[in-house]
Amino acid sequence: MAEPLPWCHLDGAVMPLADARISPLDRGFLYADGVYEVVPVHRGRPFRFVEHIARLEHSLAATGIANPHDRDGWRALFRELLARNGAAELYVYLQVTRGAEFGRNHAPPRDLEPTVFAFCAPLPPADPRLLADGLACITAGDTRWARCDIKSVALLANVLLRGAAVERGAQETILIREGWLTEASSSAVHVVLDDTLLAPPQTQAILAGTTRAVVEELAQAAGLRCIARPISEAELRGADEVWLSAAVRGLASVTRLDGHAVGTGTPGPWFRRLHADFATLIGGLADTPW
């Protein structure tokens, strides 16, 4: 991954990222008592800004952390941070914790000032080999907590699951819970079966993917039927195509799963169509309102 850009936001001030300091008594550090968002920026425009902030609002409400800004306030924060860093293709990592108290207390205090931190980093360039060959993935049991609809900073299980993929020479781990697909360690999963695009239903077992929603919109426009329903492990392994979607990754094709070919073992025709449509959508973002 590329090094982050030099300017960050911390509690109302824009400053050099190298100078940013947060109390070791911050509850985000002690308890992972915080939430986050990742917003891709294309052509200088935050992509699906409203949807990302709506998901942040959901996470804050679900954890009882006070929302430090309304949507105009978040928009102003983004504008200043993007102007300082001056890059057109990047992502913004935004984190809000419950704040710092003098001591350690499991019960969440009600009067803390939330800690707000954000920084930017360049989006990784598209790898033509992955477009041509696709990704290798493994599967594993879903060992995460029961509220995956909250975009929590408590990501230890995700980190270990992604690490297991890397150790086996793969790029991502796709998760199975009691025989049913949930998602991947840091991506939504799409399954193409018989010219139908399937994805698990939106429950507390998965994160509501903003990029997933974009992919489904493009799929419907291309004439691919979209259905949200439970997907069995057998259906995953027998799929014609399997895709991953995420804010930073965009849309990627899974061509090997646990060492076995998915479909023909190469990115399929529906993926190639949707990947091109996604690129066209991104290419038209310059000067659009957000």
Spatial separation of the C-alpha atoms in residues 248 and 40, rounded to whole Å: 6
215 contacts 241 by C-beta, under 8 angstroms: no
Q: Whose structure tokens read 């027998």? A: 238
The CA distances from residue 60 to 63, 96, 148, 180, in Å, are 5, 8, 13, 28
Within 109-220, strands assigned E span 115-122, 135-141, 172-177, 180-184, 188-193, 196-199
Collapsing DSSP states into helix, strand and coil, what is residue 26?
strand
H helices then E strands: how many in the chain? 8, 15
| Residues with Cβ within 8 Å of residue 206, at least 6 apart in sequence | 148, 149, 182, 183, 188, 200
Instruction: Read off the tokens for 97.
Output: 């914790």
Catalytic residue among 42, 48, 151, 256: 151
Name the H helices within the chain: 27-31, 49-63, 71-85, 128-133, 156-167, 210-221, 233-237, 269-283
Helix (H) or strand (E) holding 254: strand 250-257
Identify whether 159 is a catalytic site residue. Answer: no
Distances 135 to 132, 259, 265 between C-alpha atoms, Å: 10, 11, 10
Strand-pair category, 135-141 with 250-257: parallel
Active site residues: 151
